[in-house]
Amino acid sequence: MSTVSNLIFHNAKHYVTSEFGPRKTISTAAGNTSTYHYGTDYGTSGKKLTQYAIEEGTILSCGTASDGAKYVWVSYPRLNVKMLHYHLDSIKVKTGQKVTADTALGTTGKTGKSTGVHLHLGIKKLSGGGYIDPEAWSKNEYKAPGTKPATTTSSSSKYKPGTYEVTAAVLNVRTGPGTNYRRKTYSQLSADARAQVKKYAGYSANGYVKGMVCTVYEVNGSWGRTPSGWISLDHCKAK
């Protein structure tokens, strides 16, 4: 759990059931899930708990997705993020509605590709980019009202998205762009990355290894986001 998830559930009991990152596909009545989890799942012991906005913001959209999941997207300008609440049982807001920390967004459910009652929380930066790890963002970047969130820019970065070769013996793969984010283990890397690790290192190294080639599709300063997570591009060379 994190500060943000406690705000969402108003401190009602909940727990992490599936972390952000690579995972095995799960078969559900609505179809199979992907092998990469673009959010964090929070279980509620089967209870349809109310989910709340975490501060002042605006409902960007809400409704029912193609897989049958009920969802709400909330924009939080002060934090430069938007949050996706997925698998809801019911929706209590409307698109364009202004919200505060006391606004109920909906109730926790299991609609869509789900095997039980839970919240799937997804987070993206309003400034652009893909999904980021909710637990890591809460721990490392979230600032309570009255404090100024840390900001990062990538416009002046010497690195660009593209293909890179790892030059370090072992290069840590992290859940976010910085050394304060959690390191991933071998089992949390993508299937392609694990195959390359075995090929170039000969063992199950907890990170990318020298000679590996990976695709970077997002850059934040000297950090690049790959299918398995974020890596330091200072220890890579462009192909």
Residues 19, 107: one domain? yes
Q: What is the CATH number of the domain that holds 167?
A: 2.30.30
| C-alpha torsion sign, points 141, 184, 129, 37 | negative
Q: 93-125 as b/e, with b when 16 or more CB fall inside 10 Å?
A: beeebebeeebebbbbbbbbbbeebbbbbbbbb
73-99 tens-digit pLDDT: 999 999 999 999 999 999 999 999 999
Average pLDDT, integer, range 156-166: 83
Distance CA 27, CA 76 (A): 33
Quote the percentage of the chain above a pLDDT of 70. 95
CA 226 to chain centre: 13
32-64 tens-digit pLDDT: 988 899 999 999 999 999 999 999 999 999 999
Query: Considering 140, 172, 195, which residue would you say is the last residue of a domain?
Result: 140
Q: How many domains does the chain have?
A: 2
Question: Ranked by mean pLDDT, which of 8-12, 190-194, 218-222 comes out on top?
Answer: 8-12
Mean pLDDT of the chain, nearest integer: 90
Query: Nearest CA to 176 among 125, 235, 234?
Result: 125
Domain encompassing residue 38: 3-140
Query: Nearest CA to 188 among 18, 22, 10?
Result: 22
Strands 98-99, 162-166: pairing is unpaired
Q: What is the CATH number of the domain that holds 52?
A: 2.70.70.10
Residues 197, 100: one domain? no
Distance CA 54, CA 11 (A): 12
| pLDDT for 14 beyond 80 | yes
Query: Residue 157 — very low, low, confident or very high, per pLDDT cuts 50/70/90?
Result: low
Q: Examine residue 126 and state whether it is found in any structural domain, yes or no.
A: yes
Query: Residue 169 — very low, low, confident or very high, per pLDDT cuts 50/70/90?
Result: very high
Average pLDDT, integer, range 138-150: 73
Query: DSSP H helical segments within 12-160, as ranges?
Result: 134-140
